Structure 1
């Protein structure tokens, strides 16, 4: 038979409501520090029910903030993964190098073994606890999928979202233990399918992004202000996405900009396309001539002046 726990801050006096909320959420989810966005009366409801080996918590509340620190991770050695579904909710999640804004209808993951910052508000926010051993063997890189909104256009995402909603809103449907276990197994299959296809798509997108960014860098070498932020804006992505695309090639955007500038200036010197070392520096984004000469010699073993003389 499905277990069901229900809580409301209306059950306690007004001054104690947020403390009560924090206590019941931490008891059923993860230990963390929390604070409300507003000092006004806090009204929240929490429902928790079991689905086979999984549990699902449904929260409705004003916007408030959670921080799970290294200290919390050490004292509360939970290893679960959490699938979130903000049906009518909103907020922001940051974990590791990833940070994402959450809106109504989003599916996302976070990991109990790593610190995080999590802001959450709105109604019918579903948090599904998944024992790590049930999914990690099937997705060895699961830790890389956290704090990222799943693309609902990928197969598996929409039925996964609907099954989360059904499990939360109709717990009586899962009274039978055998049915609940099969339901949980199907949820996990859909999550694995969706994440596998998300990874494939992201990989292709980032590989394509790397090539487009490299072409953009080569076309803008004369811009002394060329930066990671400018590149990300020009390609309508975040700086983290650009950095991740380069990391797949064991490179960084800053290092590649520097290398491309030096290579282009060397080519210009060797081909006689510039009349002076200062012109070579300025044409390819270097404003500090002394720094340019030092970097050039370190990279190529010769001075730019020596190549100018040969040209």
Structure 2
């Protein structure tokens, strides 16, 4: 991770690239190269299929894992051989998964998330086919940002889909889908990722948020995840976080337009990425994809934010 978010598409690796007899051996090499050194065995008989969609987004890496049943272990011997120090979050999107570390077990169903630490042994278990989004960040960075001494007390603790941390899981799930469809848009939104991983670590530790910073990040993640909904209002955001409109205004520069301005900027940034990526796409289609009520509103808001019309931006962005 070099600190620069790439603008290109994610890397995709699949066991379809090799003969069926070598599929799981190939898969084991893939997950070791993508994450950390691991041992793995299949949990179901018959042919094995697996695919990884991996993106390095600068301050963190994100991988969507589609695969058959397996048991994956990070052993003391493998840790001694390669001492990679990462905090990882698994967000279950299909099927079921189990994470074991530090004497705890987190059973995950879609929408739930758990953290684990590559510096100590852990086990991941999947009885059948599954999908997860896995986020990986340098452990030292996360500890420095949260003030925790280590992650020992927060690993393998289930963070539910309806909990506060569920907003973090929703953000990364949405970002993974966007990365595959719109890499430029994903790179723009990914700037929130590291802060949200720190938020997940803090919440998993049962600590109160540090001032307003964590709540602001949660709101920003919610706006990123829901910005394509043209009916989204400030009242909807306030209701989602059980706070008043006044509290939201205070979080964003104290002005009544703060949350709305954030939402407009997110929509415009998404629109800019689509205008760059697909020069033949109709403006009405882009307006709908970014949450604008119509092409007229899109034109007005885009010009107010950028000083250009969408057509002018599209004509000059490639120069």
TM-score range, shorter chain: 0.5 to 0.7
* Corresponding residue of 1:158: 166
SS of the residue corresponding to residue 176 of structure 2 reads: helix
Alpha carbons of structure 1 residues 192 and 147: separation in structure 2 relative to 1, 3 Å: closer
Q: In the alignment, is residue 149 of structure 1 matched against residue 158 of structure 2?
A: yes
Gaps of 5+ in 2: 1-5, 209-319
Q: In the alignment, is residue 179 of structure 1 matched against residue 185 of structure 2?
A: no
* Corresponding residue of 1:14: 20
By how many angstroms is 1:45 displaced?
1.0
Aligned positions of 1:233-244 closer than 5 A: none
Contact 1:42 1:62 in 2 (8 A): yes
* Corresponding residue of 1:126: 133
Contact 1:90 1:103 in 2 (8 A): yes
User: What TM-score do you get using the length of structure 2 for normalisation?
Assistant: 0.57
Contact 2:99 2:107 in 1 (8 A): yes
Alpha carbons of structure 1 residues 177 and 164: separation in structure 2 relative to 1, 3 Å: closer
> Quick one: distance in 2 between partners of 1:178 and 1:99?
33
Aligned length: 199
By how many angstroms is 1:2 displaced?
3.8
Q: In the alignment, is residue 89 of structure 1 matched against residue 81 of structure 2?
A: no
> Quick one: distance in 2 between partners of 1:89 and 1:134?
31
Contact 2:111 2:161 in 1 (8 A): no
Greater Cα shift, 165-174 or 66-75: 165-174
Contact 2:63 2:134 in 1 (8 A): yes
Contact 2:79 2:119 in 1 (8 A): yes
> Quick one: distance in 2 between partners of 1:122 and 1:104?
13
- Deviations 1:124-158 (Å, cap 9, x if unpaired)? 31110011122112141522100110144442x12
Contact 1:2 1:50 in 2 (8 A): no
User: What TM-score do you get using the length of structure 1 for normalisation?
Assistant: 0.58
> Quick one: distance in 1 between partners of 2:97 and 2:185?
35
Greater Cα shift, 58-67 or 99-108: 99-108
By how many angstroms is 1:9 displaced?
0.8
> Quick one: distance in 2 between partners of 1:189 and 1:93?
20
Alpha carbons of structure 1 residues 7 and 90: separation in structure 2 relative to 1, 3 Å: same
Alpha carbons of structure 1 residues 107 and 115: separation in structure 2 relative to 1, 3 Å: same
> Quick one: distance in 2 between partners of 1:79 and 1:110?
11
* Corresponding residue of 1:135: 142
* Corresponding residue of 2:69: 63
RMSD: 2.4
Contact 2:157 2:204 in 1 (8 A): no
Greater Cα shift, 141-150 or 117-126: 117-126
> Quick one: distance in 2 between partners of 1:93 and 1:178?
29
Alpha carbons of structure 1 residues 93 and 50: separation in structure 2 relative to 1, 3 Å: same
> Quick one: distance in 2 between partners of 1:14 and 1:110?
31
* Corresponding residue of 1:112: 118
